[in-house]
Amino acid sequence: MDQIKQELKKQIIEQLNLEDVAVEDIADDTLLFASDGLALDSIDALELIVLLEKFYGIQVVNPEEGKTAFKSVDTMAAYIQQKTAQ
C-alpha cells in the first residue's frame, strides 16, 4: 500500500505538471483539492482520471465517482486497491 502511495505521488506530480511540488510535500492525507492542500481544480480532476486509466487500467465513467476517490492520496490508493481487486 505504501508503495502504491509513493508511486501515486510521483504520478500526480508528473501528470499534473506540478513543477514546484516534491513527493515529500504531499502527505498521505493532504486534501488534494483544498486551497491549503494542493489546490487542484476540475481540469486536474480529469487528469487524475486519465492517470488512473493510463497507469492502472481503471476507467472512471462517472466523474462524480472521482470526487470521493480523489480526496487524498489515501483515498486514491484505497480506490485503486478496491478496483484492481474486483
Partner 1 sequence: MVPAAKISITGLGIVSAIGCGVEENRRALVEGQSGIGTTYSETLPEGLLVGAVKQSDQELLQRLRLPNGYYSRTSLLGMVAAREAWDGQSSHPSLRTGFIGATSVGGMDQTEQFYKQYLQGRKVDFKSLITHDSGYTMEVIAQDLGLTGYVNTISTACSSSANAIMLGARLLQQGRLDRVLVGGVDPLSMFTIQGFRSLMIYDEAWCKPFDDARVGLNLGEGAAFMVLENEKSIEITGRLPICRLTGWANAADAYHQTASSPDGKGATLAIGQALQKAGLFPEEVSYINVHGTGTKNNDLSESIAMQNIFGDKLPPFSSTKAYTGHTLAAAAAIEGVYSVLALRDGMLLPNLNFSTPLAETGLSPIVELQTGQDLTSVLSNSFGFGGNNSSLVFSSNGY
Partner 2 sequence: MTVIKGYCHINKEDCWVNGKPVLAKTDDPEYSWLRQIYNFVGLSYPKFHKMDQLAQAGVLALALLKHEGDLPMDYSEEGVDLVLANRHASAGSDLRFQASYADHAAPSPALFVYTLPNIVLGEIAIQQKWYGDHIFVVLPAFDPDFFIQYAQRHIQQGCQAVIGGWLEVTDTETDVFLFLAEAEESTGKGGSLPLAAINELYRQPMPSISKL
| Residue from 1, 23, 34, 54 binding partner 2 (CB under 8 A) | 54
> Which range, of 1-9, 22-30, 40-48, 69-77, touches partner 2 by CB under 8 A?
40-48
State yes or no: residue 39 binds partner 1 (CB under 8 A).
no
Q: Is the dihedral of CA 22, 23, 29, 34 positive or negative?
A: positive
> Which range, of 1-9, 17-25, 66-74, 76-84, touches partner 2 by CB under 8 A?
17-25
Give the shortest CB-1-to-partner 1 separation in angstroms.
28
For cell 472521482, the residue is: 66
Contact 48, 15 (CB under 8 A): yes
Nearest alpha carbon to residue 14 among 48, 43, 45:
48
